[in-house]
Chains A and B, each alone.
Chain A
Amino acid sequence: MMDLNLEIENLSKRYNSFTLKNISFNVPKGCIMGLIGENGAGKTTTIKLILNLIKRDSGNIKIFGLDNIENEKEIKQQIGVVLDESYFHDNLKPLSISKIMQNIFENWDDQLFDNYLSKFSLPKNKTIKEYSKGMKAKLSIATALAHKPKLLILDEATSGLDPVIRSEILDVFLDFIQDDEHSVLISSHITSDLEKISDYITFINDGSIIFSESKDNLIYNYGLLKCKINEFDNIDKKDIIRYKKNDFNYDILVKNKQEMKIKYKNYIIDSINLEDIMLLYIKGTVK
């Protein structure tokens, strides 16, 4: 299996109040992996561990088939990163960024950076301080792309932006992935965005991975079974992944939707989107 750009195996990190527990998942080449979960679920911790910004307690991370710590410098030449709230200084202009970055990345391409600035209609003679939030986000994405990386890692890159700018940015990622050597790992709590562009979804909750599978499988497999209060006992307990009791009915998260549709002919089983899967997992009750 050398078609993976990122492999994470049994990764753990312990903090006083939070533990990332033995997480494993892979990001194949040519794919977008969406990382979903609540604030504080472990998304940023995972990304920091991938970038070796914090020390792992155990586990392995391989990027482009190489160990992320042993071959750190070599690997990072080929990674583009957008972090939440961590970027260039406010009083710099795009031109300064270009001058700094060409002294950091071997493959930094001034022309390409310039093209992105024009494409995103970002003013070149303004300081970052004068940029709007959306412009800052686009500038940081342009910066991440201008050294022609093979792997893009984005932590909450689209959060807090309006739908127009978000869809513009998502298009850039879809464009990036056209090269089948490229991959994207993107974390967000805006699940609808990830549902739009991701090929795979990894769901982290309270430091553990709930699932990491292809989006199509998820949408195809999971279903929402609705039943009245008095019918709840008719549902086989082992079919219930999570449930939520409403005023007049139960919402039940089930797997293997097609089988369930045969087993529970008299009930409505709806398709379910990523957001509702996530909500039921987090807020719902375990059988």
Chain B
Amino acid sequence: MKGLIVKDLFNLKKYSKSVMLILAFYMLYAVMMDSSMFMAGMIIMLTTMMSITSFSYDDLAKWDKYALSFPITRKEMVLSKYLLALLLSIVGVIIAFAASLLISKIKTPVDMNELLVVSYVLLIVALVFISILLPLIYKFGVEKSRVLIIAVFAVPAAIFFVLTNAGFQMPTESQLMILLQFSPIILLVILFISFYVSVNIYKSKDL
């Protein structure tokens, strides 16, 4: 299974160079605006989306059919994609954190704790996003899922909008802190359910 992740990293090598370029652009933007929030979000989104791109590459080469003729189970195929997404998201968070730190050093200083919390929240968001999107990709294929990405973003935003308009109280800071404390467990449960669903979809597929 390690071979599968090695394969994805090889494939993404060229693509990551163009991602670096976009990244540099966002850093420049962050320096000019003296705010790294937007940049951090974009970096993590870019690296997280790279795992989606790896699905497109596989489709193009009709890779799955070939890979499954090797001593690789379908479960391992799915697991390799989750691990890749996890790896890329973490790399994204590290880059975003380092870049934010760098910018805060040359521009307005930012509280270190705040930076850590923001990075952590971004990682959680990225992994929840992956947990929703991967089963959709296994079900509908990566091309159709590109449209669904918009929905994955739009639906929570819409719910949030409706709730606040309906006069719902925003959670207090202490409530949010409790949520943050429980978030690793919640995240693990979400990832596990997502993985389980993906494996079952993929197992029943004829290739």
Q: Are B68 and A88 touching (Cβ within 8 A)?
A: no
A93 closest partner in B (C-beta): B10
B residues less than 8 Å from A287 (CB atoms): none
Task: Tell me the total A-B contact number using a CB cutoff of 8 A.
Answer: 80
Query: What secondary structure prevails in chain B residues at the interface with A?
Result: helix
Q: B2 interface residue, CB < 8 Å from A?
A: yes
Chain B: interface size category: 20 to 34
Measured CA separation A89–B11 after assembly (Å): 8
Q: Are A100 and B3 touching (Cβ within 8 A)?
A: yes
A residues less than 8 Å from B73 (CB atoms): 72-73
One digit per residue, 1 when the CB lies within 8 angstroms of any chain B CB and 0 when it does not, for chain A 92-115 equals: 100010011111110000000000
Q: B25 interface residue, CB < 8 Å from A?
A: no
A79 closest partner in B (C-beta): B69
Q: Are B3 and A104 touching (Cβ within 8 A)?
A: yes
A residues less than 8 Å from B58 (CB atoms): 89
Measured CA separation A74–B65 after assembly (Å): 18
Measured CA separation A55–B204 after assembly (Å): 8
Q: Are A89 and B61 touching (Cβ within 8 A)?
A: yes
Q: A53-B65, A53-B206 are in contact. Are A90 and B60 (CB under 8 A)?
A: yes
Which chain A residues numbered 58 to 101 have a C-beta less than 8 Å away from chain B? 72-74, 76-77, 79, 81, 83, 85-92, 96, 99-101
Q: A54 interface residue, CB < 8 Å from B?
A: yes
Q: A227 interface residue, CB < 8 Å from B?
A: no
Q: How far is the CB of B205 from chain A (nearest CB, A)?
A: 9
Partner of A88, one of B14, B66, B71, B206: B66
Q: Are A83 and B65 touching (Cβ within 8 A)?
A: yes
Which chain B residues numbered 8 to 34 have a C-beta less than 8 Å away from chain A? 10-11, 14
Partner of B61, one of A51, A72, A90: A90
Q: A48 interface residue, CB < 8 Å from B?
A: yes
Q: Are B66 and A87 touching (Cβ within 8 A)?
A: yes
A residues less than 8 Å from B154 (CB atoms): none
Query: What secondary structure prevails in chain A residues at the interface with B?
Result: loop
Q: B72 interface residue, CB < 8 Å from A?
A: yes
Partner of B69, one of A51, A85, A96, A103: A51
Q: A54-B207, A90-B60, A90-B61 are in contact. Are A100 and B71 (CB under 8 A)?
A: no
Partner of B62, one of A74, A85, A100: A85
A106 closest partner in B (C-beta): B71
Q: A100-B3, A103-B2, A103-B6 are in contact. Are A91 and B69 (CB under 8 A)?
A: no
15 contacts between A and B (CB under 8 A): A53-B65, A54-B206, A54-B207, A76-B70, A76-B71, A81-B69, A83-B65, A83-B66, A85-B62, A88-B61, A88-B63, A89-B60, A101-B3, A102-B3, A153-B69
A residues near B, CB below 8 A? 48, 51-55, 72-74, 76-77, 79, 81, 83, 85-92, 96, 99-105, 153
Known contacts A53-B207, A55-B204, A103-B6, then 5 further A-B pairs from the complex at CB < 8 Å, ordered by chain A residue: A53-B206, A86-B63, A86-B66, A100-B7, A104-B3
B residues near A, CB below 8 A? 2-4, 6-7, 10-11, 14, 57-58, 60-63, 65-66, 68-73, 204, 206-207
